[in-house]
Amino acid sequence: MKSPSVYCIFNISGRIGGCAKGKGGSMHMYAKNFYGGNGIVGAQVPLGAGIALACKYFGKDEICVTLYGDGAANQGQIFETFNMAALWKLPCIFICENNRYGMGTSVERAAASTDYYKRGDFIPGLRVDGMDVLAVREATKFAADHCRGGKGPIVMELQTYRYHGHSMSDPGISYRTREEIQEVRSKSDPITLLKDRMVNNNLASVEELKEIDVEVRKQIEDAAQFATTDPEPPLEELGNYIYTKEPPFEVRGPNQWIRYKSVG
């Protein structure tokens, strides 16, 4: 049984052992009860409402947690989803990860109002310190109880920060200073804050935490080494798994000898 970190690196590296069989990247991570991301900005929000509708329809005591960023928060489909979710009282927690920057743009330059937790209008909202693990845990418990109580959806804005660029093409320092990044890292880093809290409350020793750091780094290195030795998918695999119950069909490109004719 491979660890989740191995499957993650498999998928991002485009290897056949990944959950998307090498045909997707970070936006195509799927597992049981985890429906991954989406190639269209903000499109995971209406999909999340659909999953919440299924939870309610089948009478299960389940909820859907739907995450999106501050950049996606301005997409029209999100507001349409809020309306439907509130109207049908869907058990959905809409979580806006506000890390202060979209794709190279600060929230102040992209949104007339940065109070993302109020965006639901008729849906109640919470603003939470996303850099505090325990605060996020307690807020999530509250939100889950709200949804399971038949009160409908709730919006959570997690105020956090990303240290690096948005993607490979974004160095992350053309629209902010290195000093700003360092200040946040030194004062509000969630891992450092949790470590300090655990040590100060005698829940763990510095030595124990250092051992955990070493073990985690080794797991990541082993996963990366294992994943990068996995083969890439062959071209003939391109038509597989497009429809779950249908056999693979020919797709233009894998076989150069096949000639296609237009129909209609």
> Who wins on pLDDT, 6 or 8?
8
Residue 71 belongs to some domain of the structure: yes
What pLDDT digit, counting tens, does each position of 100-147 carry? 998 888 999 999 999 999 999 999 999 999 999 999 999 999 999 999
The CATH number of whichever domain residue 71 belongs to comes to: 3.40.50.970
Q: What is the DSSP letter of 22?
A: T
More confident residue, 75 or 244: 75
φ/ψ of residue 51, rounded to 5: -65, -40
The domain of 131 spans: 41-174
Q: Is residue 129 part of a domain?
A: yes
What's the mean pLDDT in 221-242? 81
CA atoms within 13 A on the CB side of 61: 2
Q: What is the mean pLDDT of residues 51-80?
A: 95
- Residue 180: band (very low, low, confident or very high) from pLDDT cuts 50, 70, 90: very high
**CB neighbour list of residue 40: distance below 8 Å, 6 or more residues apart:** none
Q: Is residue 186 part of a domain?
A: no
Domain-embedded: residue 247:
no
* Separation in Å, CA 182 to CA 8, 54, 179: 28, 44, 5
| 210 vs 260 pLDDT, higher one | 210
Q: Is the pLDDT of residue 211 over 90?
A: yes
Task: With respect to residue 34, please indicate whether it lies within any of the assigned structural domains.
Answer: no
Dist CA 29 CA 10 (whole Å): 10
DSSP three-state, residue 184? helix
In a domain, 95, yes or no: yes
Spatial distance between the Cα atoms of 153 and 147, rounded to a whole number of angstroms: 6
Question: Count of domains in the chain?
Answer: 1
Q: Does some domain include residue 245?
A: no
The answer to the question of residue 246 being in a domain is no
Task: Give Cβ neighbours of residue 173 (< 8 Å, ≥ 6 apart).
Answer: 165, 181
Rounded to 5 degrees, what are φ and ψ at 64? Answer: -115, 135
